[in-house]
Amino acid sequence: MGNALPPPAYGVVCDIDVQGHPPIRQKARRTPLRSLGKLYELLKGLLTARLVSFSDSPWASPIVIVLKKNGIDIRLCIDYKRVNAITAIIEYAMPLVDDLLTEMEAYLWFCSLDAASGFWAVMMTRRARKISAFVCALGHFEWLRMPFGLKNAPMIYQRTIDNALRGFVQPKGGWANFSEKMRLAETAEAEDKAGVTEASVSPNEAPRTKFEADRALSTTESAVASLVKSPLADMYSSGEPDESSLVPVLDRRSVVDDICFGSETFEACLATLDRLLSRFRECRISVSFSNSLFVQRKVGFLCHDVSAAGIAPDAKKAAAVTELSFPASKKGVQSFLGALNYYSRFIQDFAVYGAALYQLKDADFEPGGDLSAASQSFAMLQQRIRDAPILRHFDRGKDVHVTLFANEWALSSTLMQEHEGKLHPVRFCGRVLKDADMNYHPAEKEVLALLLVLKVCYTQLVGKSIRVYTRFSTLEWVHKSKTLFGRATQFAVLLSPWHLVVERVKEKDCVFAQLLQAGLTSFVDLDESLASVAPPSKGSANVRLDPHLLYARLPTSYSGHVLSFDVSAKTETHGGYGSCSWILRKLPEWTIVIAVSAYLEATTVNLAEYAGMNNGVSAALGLAITDLVIVGDSRLAMQQSLGVIACRKETLMTQLNHHRELVAKLRLVK
């Protein structure tokens, strides 16, 4: 249909319920003089196409002029923020992108259809016309067709397309009856318009202003507008069951005006297309021929390339992301992450590599800020979207495999299925750890990664047996044990509906690595390569969380002393007491040199950590030990002593200074 305005869809109207709120009349915002000519042309086109008319409504929302990418043309946007705030929302479930990209494993031929003009195919009720009124430097106008920006517009249009594909209700009297009424109304409107036009060019008439002819057209209510006001116009209010022989057309949903479907054979796909177009003709929904693809091996859908081989990111959009330079502000980083997040399903360990970018602050971009980890993360994410694999369609007939990974700041999981003897990715997912999650044991973090993929891919995985590959035996114990406590009980409850087959993968497992499709990273090798992208630790803007600092790695032949400590403490409401213990061992025999515990009458967890660590160092010095390795699971004392976390509290600063005095007496400390 090109750029022509499509005729209105049958049986649907846009109404706006402001729940009795008095009219909101806002002032027009200033328009730059250089944009005034473009605004006039745009409004003139809308008036000519009968999309808007002049208004005498007590409502008025201001316009916002937005320049298009070419820097010359403008886009008309209306600020409906205050109108939307008082509008009663239509509760209608919108489809999710994840759901729309599934159930395509059997397709060999595809169609991708784009409905013409989208929202403009829906007529407005008289009340909606008045409430939608907008004001600008060139006048006061109201919409005759549903505009963008209204809160309920996506739901109204989605419901229209869903009804066309499924066939729930029809206009009162049937589609053919309403079609005839609309034809008569449009004929009458065309005759009225022709009459006004002839009168407007009479040689005896006085000269008119630019918009006077358009105002004449809008002063009288057209036959189509009268039909829209009638009870016949809204089929959802009448609720008459659809008796069409063409429905249901598809067993899939669309998202607003994008429709994608397919079939195993060319003929079957063509037959479905023919039935769909016949149904759209019946409902009077127009399709944009230039923006649609018919019976192809590969089509574009929701910025993805869909084919029988699987799903890939749109090549042009992915290339645009990879060509960006590192942003100069936090806002620029957020824009980059927003663009990349849409394609996160294609990036293995997206959250692991992106955490340093998520934690950036405005101060980090000032002189002296450390952007080394962020720059490295930025480059690695660009490389990963450049090398993004084709994700296979999920096949319910195949076994499901899941790999898990978690480190100090993020977790990730990979959903895979076997094709030609290799495990191919179906979906990557992950997230940055919350503060509380960071205290979990790595095995518990991997349970969180499993719960995440079960949630994200629920509709695909429900009822399936899932083989899970993990580095720890904890997951199998949590899933099967009958004697659980603490967080393990909660994990067991959440995992109880699922049938899991847990397989532990040892470090450097070559057999498992060979199962993976080329390009997939085996999680057992990840820890070695993540130091450069570690995000800043909480409380410190410039010091990154280095895995080599946080994990003690000693050769098996190491000879020396190792100090370990552990603590516990009650909160003040439960007594405020605690305890600490420290053990000094001699390696390589692991002989216990000293093991001591102490009761602390009034303490906190952080003070108890310092007490255990400092008492252990003092004990080592008392035995004339000069080289010492200190290990512990402390989230504060250890990291403050390393400079990873800033220390600002006076009581802790005293303990930290004491610790520094003690370790200064050692020849070597790690």
Q: Is the pLDDT of residue 538 over 70?
A: no
High-pLDDT (> 90) share of the chain, %: 46
Helical H segments across 25-152, by residue range:
33-48, 81-86, 97-100, 126-131
Task: Name, of 9-13, 77-81, 316-320, the range with top average pLDDT.
Answer: 77-81
Greater model confidence, 116 or 199? 116
Lowest mean per-residue pLDDT among 111-115, 411-415, 649-653, 664-668: 649-653
Give the Å distances, CA to CA, from 494 to 151, 315, 431, 555. Answer: 36, 39, 18, 39
| Inter-residue contact 449 to 411 (CB < 8 Å) | yes
Q: What is the DSSP string of 541-609?
A: SS-B--HHHHS----TT--EEEEEEEEEE--GGGT--EEEEEEEEEETTTEEEEEEEEEESS--HHHHH
CA–CA separation, 11 and 233 (whole Å): 5
How many other CB atoms are found less than 10 A from the CB of residue 328?
9
Least confident of 153-167, 477-491, 562-576: 477-491
DSSP strand pairing (139-143 vs 52-54):
antiparallel
DSSP state of 55: -
Taking the alpha carbons at both ends of the chain, their separation in whole angstroms is 73
Q: Is 17 exposed, middle or buried (0-12, 13-18, 19+ CB in 10 A)?
A: middle
Indicate the residue type of 153: A
Query: How large is the average pLDDT for residues 592-606?
Result: 88
Whether residue 649 is predicted with pLDDT greater than 60 in this model: the reply is yes
User: Mean of the pLDDT values across residues 593-610?
Assistant: 88
* pLDDT band for position 2 (cuts 50, 70, 90): very low
CA–CA–CA angle 377, 379, 385 (5° rounding): 100
> Which residues neighbour 208 within 8 Å (Cβ) at sequence distance 6 or greater?
200
Indicate if the pLDDT at residue 1 is higher than 50.
Answer: no
pLDDT at position 493 is 85
φ and ψ at residue 213, rounded to 5 degrees: -65, -40
Q: Give the pLDDT confidence score for residue 542 in this predicted structure.
A: 45
Q: What is the pLDDT of residue 571?
A: 75
pLDDT at 543: 46
**Structure confidence at residue 194 (pLDDT):** 67
Cβ(438)–Cβ(409) below 8 Å: yes
Mean pLDDT of 400-425: 91
Instruction: Name residue 595's beta-bridge partners.
Output: 583
Q: Which residues pair with 647 in a beta bridge?
A: none
pLDDT surpassing 60 at residue 463? yes
Query: What is the model's pLDDT at position 421?
Result: 87
**Burial (Cβ within 10 Å: 0-12, 13-18, ≥19) of residue 252:** middle
| CATH code assigned to 13-94+120-158+166-235 | 3.10.10.10
Other CB atoms within a 10 A radius of the CB of residue 302 amount to 15
**Is 50 exceeded by the pLDDT of residue 116?**
yes
pLDDT of res. 539: 43
d(CA 345, CA 99): 13
With cut-offs at 50, 70 and 90, classify the pLDDT of residue 313.
very high
What's the helix, strand, coil split of the chain in %, to 5?
Answer: 40, 20, 40
- Please give the full DSSP string across 42-54, using - where no structure is assigned: HHHHHHHTTSEEE
Query: pLDDT value at position 212?
Result: 60
Q: What is the mean pLDDT of residues 580-607?
A: 89
Cα Rg, the chain, nearest whole Å: 33
Domains 13-94+120-158+166-235 and 552-669 share a fold: no
CATH 3.30.420.10 corresponds to the domain 552-669: yes
Measured distance CA(90)–CA(164) in Å, rounded? 19
**Widest pairwise Cα distance in the chain:** 117
Q: Quick one: pLDDT at residue 638? A: 80
Inform me whether the pLDDT recorded for 614 exceeds 70.
yes
Q: Is 664 exposed, middle or buried (0-12, 13-18, 19+ CB in 10 A)?
A: exposed
On the question of pLDDT at 453 being above 80, the answer is yes
- How many alpha carbons fall within 13 Å on the CB side of residue 70? 4
Q: Could you read off the pLDDT of 231-277 as tens digits, one per residue?
A: 778 898 888 999 998 889 988 888 888 999 999 999 999 999 999 99
pLDDT digits (tens, 9 = 90+) for 210-236: 456 555 555 556 777 777 777 778 898
More confident site: 58 or 513:
58
Closest by CA position to 315, among listed 288, 346, 291: 346
State residue 370's pLDDT score: 82
Rounded mean pLDDT, 338-351 = 90
Q: How confident is the model at residue 504 (pLDDT cuts 50, 70, 90)?
A: confident
Helices (runs of H) and strands (runs of E) counted in the chain: 23, 23
What is the model's pLDDT at position 481? 65
pLDDT at 437 over 90: no
610 CB-side CA count, 13 A: 20
Chain Cα centroid distance, residue 440:
26
pLDDT at 544: 47
Most confident of 114-118, 361-365, 391-395: 391-395
pLDDT in tens, 167-205: 999 998 899 988 898 888 888 877 776 665 554 445 555
Q: Rounded distance, CA 95 to CA 113, Å?
A: 17
User: What's the mean pLDDT when you consider all of the chain?
Assistant: 85
All structural domains of the chain with their residue ranges:
13-94+120-158+166-235, 313-545, 552-669
Instruction: Kindly state the average pLDDT of the residues 317-342.
Output: 90
Tell me, what's the pLDDT at 505?
82
Tell whether the model's pLDDT for residue 61 goes beyond 80: yes
- For the cut 80, the answer to whether the pLDDT of residue 644 exceeds it is no
Question: Tokens 């497992």 map to which residue?
Answer: 509
Whether 110 contacts 269, CB under 8 Å:
yes
One-letter amino acid for residue 234 of the chain: D
- The position carrying tokens 């705030």 is 85
Q: CB neighbours (10 Å) of residue 452?
A: 18
